[in-house]
Structures are given as structure tokens and as C-alpha cells.
């Protein structure tokens, strides 16, 4: 449909809907406790499609919103391959203060051909930020960080094993 001289609107008549369960069931005292959902797509790699998500959790000061990551299958994008436990980014120092305190939210992400990943995010409703990393490092984090084991003692054991493995790499 043409509106004016340069604006076009296209109608999507054959969209196929697929049920996705990126958020999973709500689990008390984890990143899946409150709101949780997809945000920006970082890009495609051989391993899958890398996404940045937001997760809201209650704490003593109210709500806290952090960024996490997950990887989906390229051929069946509604299927999640990996979702590490914990968070990718959480508000720190001045990021915690603003109109909506203790909140991070992804605004966009770019996976560059040179292997660099860029995540654009905002904090506390007032401050824009940019985080950069090697795309391979993001994939390594997403694929090799174990999922949340839902028990503090088990998560501590996971992290100790992960840290020891990283130290062994040099």
C-alpha cells in the first residue's frame, strides 16, 4: 500500500507462528523469578543465533533488571540450545541510579564481520551505554557456562568447577 510519495506499508499474509518458550517456567529466587524475555539479537554464528535477554528479579531494594544471553538453533529458531545461569551484565555504580533504579535493558546488538560484538543498552531509564566483546568470547560464555542449578550450593560447585577449568587454560 502506498501512502504519500515515499512511504510503503507491506502486509504479511503468510506468517507462521511458532510457540517459543525462551523464558521457561518461573522459578523463585533466580533470574527467572519475575519478568524475563528476549531483547536484542546479536547475530548468527555456526553454533546458532545469539540473543540478549532481560530478566527482572525481586530483591530487598525492589526490582532489579539485568541482561542475560541465550542461543537458538539456526534451522529451528524457536528451539533454545543454551542458556547460561546467572547474568551477562548487571547494573554497577552509576548505572544503578536514575529514574528507574537498578535496571539494565538492551536496546540493540551488532555482531560485526571482524568478530567484535557490540551491545547497546540503557541503565536506570536515563543513561545509554555500549558494551563490546569478541563474538567468540560471547559464544564461549553462552555455550560453556552451566545453566542455573536452582540451588545455591549446587551453583557454587558449578562456579568453582568453571573457575578451576578456566585457571587450567592459563
Per-residue pLDDT tens for 71-109? 999 888 888 899 888 788 888 888 888 887 888 888 889
pLDDT the model gives residue 132: 94
Please give the Cα distance from 42 to 63 (Å, whole number).
26
CA nearest 148: which of 162, 158, 138?
Answer: 158
Do the domain assignments include residue 138? yes
Q: What is the CATH number of the domain that holds 54?
A: 2.115.10.20
Do the domain assignments include residue 151? no
Per-residue pLDDT tens for 41-68? 887 788 898 989 888 777 777 778 888 8
Domain hosting residue 138, numbered range:
16-144
Do the domain assignments include residue 11? no
Do the domain assignments include residue 41? yes
Do the domain assignments include residue 123? yes
What is the chain's length? Answer: 170
Burial class (CB in 10 A: 0-12, 13-18, 19+), 50: buried
Cβ count within 10 A of residue 163 = 10
Do the domain assignments include residue 6? no
Total number of domains in the chain: 1
Q: What is the DSSP letter of 147?
A: P
79 with 12: CB under 8 angstroms? no
Do the domain assignments include residue 167? no
Per-residue pLDDT tens for 136-145? 999 998 998 8
Do the domain assignments include residue 25? yes
Amino acid at each position: 500500500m502506498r501512502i504519500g510519495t515515499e512511504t510503503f506499508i507491506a502486509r504479511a499474509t503468510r506468517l507462521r507462528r511458532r510457540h517459543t518458550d525462551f523464558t521457561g517456567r518461573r522459578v523463585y529466587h533466580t533470574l527467572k523469578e519475575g519478568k524475563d524475555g528476549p531483547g536484542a539479537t546479536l547475530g548468527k554464528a555456526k553454533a546458532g543465533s545469539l540473543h540478549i535477554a532481560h530478566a527482572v528479579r525481586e530483591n530487598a531494594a525492589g526490582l532489579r533488571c539485568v541482561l542475560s544471553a541465550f542461543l537458538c538453533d539456526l534451522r529451528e529458531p524457536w528451539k533454545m540450545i543454551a542458556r547460561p545461569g546467572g547474568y551477562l551484565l548487571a547494573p554497577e555504580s552509576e548505572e544503578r541510579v536514575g529514574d528507574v533504579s537498578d535496571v539494565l535493558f538492551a536496546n540493540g546488538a551488532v555482531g560485526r564481520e571482524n568478530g567484535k560484538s557490540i551491545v547497546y543498552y540503557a541503565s536506570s531509564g536515563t543513561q545509554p551505554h555500549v558494551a563490546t566483546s569478541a563474538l567468540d568470547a560471547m559464544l564461549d560464555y553462552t555455550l560453556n557456562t552451566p545453566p542455573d542449578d536452582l540451588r545455591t550450593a549446587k551453583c557454587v560447585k558449578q562456579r568453582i568447577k568453571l573457575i578451576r577449568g578456566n585457571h587450567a587454560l592459563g
